[in-house]
């Protein structure tokens, strides 16, 4: 089924097909990648550089999407990017962890991390307690001049103990 699905996407030429099967099925990833012309991505549920290395050595993926939080933070994701660069495989960090992903992207070549996934716009509650809201404008995010990851909590919002509505 996965091969048929990926082949069916070929006419629209997507940038990638994300996790058509669970990432631990490395042999099946290889078969899908060989059978279709759509690039294959995975990594959201790949938590270590050693698991990532297995995918890369097998030739199972075209794009990696390791999550900065789930891999153990900036240091581990940086190591994964270094590994990926040796295999000429780009990394676009998964999802909701914009600030760690931006720190990693800023330390890499654009050929290794060509862009950053940004999902916070659709989940404003994730930034509710921050003093600085990261809002994309024309495809860019302006970062504050703050130390560390740039997160400062709004004490008044914390003290108010508001119930957040999703």
Taking only the tens place, the pLDDT of each residue in 6-25 is 999 999 999 999 999 999 99
d(CA 68, CA 78): 9
Which pLDDT band, with edges at 50, 70 and 90, does 164 fall under?
Answer: low
pLDDT at 122: 59
Residues of the chain with CATH 3.20.20.120: 2-117
Please report which confidence band the pLDDT of residue 120 belongs to, taking 50, 70 and 90 as the band edges. Answer: low
Q: Report the range out of 4-13, 97-106, 118-127 with the highest average pLDDT.
A: 4-13
Residue 156 has pLDDT above 70, yes or no: yes
- Which residue shows structure tokens 């939080």? 69
Among the options 94, 96, 130, 138, which is catalytic?
94
> What torsion do the CA atoms of 140, 145, 150, 154 make, to the nearest 10 degrees?
-110
| 2-117 placed in CATH 3.30.43.10 | no
Question: What confidence score (pLDDT) does residue 121 get?
Answer: 59
pLDDT digits (tens, 9 = 90+) for 31-71: 999 999 999 999 999 999 999 999 999 999 999 999 998 99
Look at residue 11 and give its three-state secondary structure: helix
Q: Is 94 a catalytic residue?
A: yes
User: What tens digit of pLDDT does each residue of 80-100 get?
Assistant: 999 999 999 999 998 778 888
Question: Rounded CA gap, 108 and 101, in Å?
Answer: 11
d(CA 147, CA 55): 35
DSSP helix/strand/coil, 153: strand
């Amino acid at each position: 089924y996965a091969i048929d699905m990926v082949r069916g996407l070929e006419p629209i030429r997507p940038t990638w097909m994300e996790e058509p099967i669970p990432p631990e099925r490395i042999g099946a990833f290889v078969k899908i990648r060989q059978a279709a012309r759509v690039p294959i991505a995975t990594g959201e549920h790949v938590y270590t550089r050693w698991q990532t290395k297995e995918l890369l050595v097998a030739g199972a993926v075209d794009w990696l999407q390791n999550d900065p939080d789930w891999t153990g933070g900036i240091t581990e994701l940086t190591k994964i990017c270094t590994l990926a660069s040796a295999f000429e495989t780009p990394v676009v960090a998964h999802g909701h962890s914009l600030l760690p992903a931006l720190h990693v992207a800023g330390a890499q070549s654009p050929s290794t991390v060509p862009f950053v996934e940004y999902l916070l716009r659709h989940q404003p509650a994730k930034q509710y307690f921050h003093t600085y809201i990261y809002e994309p404008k024309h495809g860019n995010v302006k970062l504050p001049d703050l130390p560390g990851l740039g997160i400062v909590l709004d004490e008044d919002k914390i003290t108010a103990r508001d119930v957040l509505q999703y």
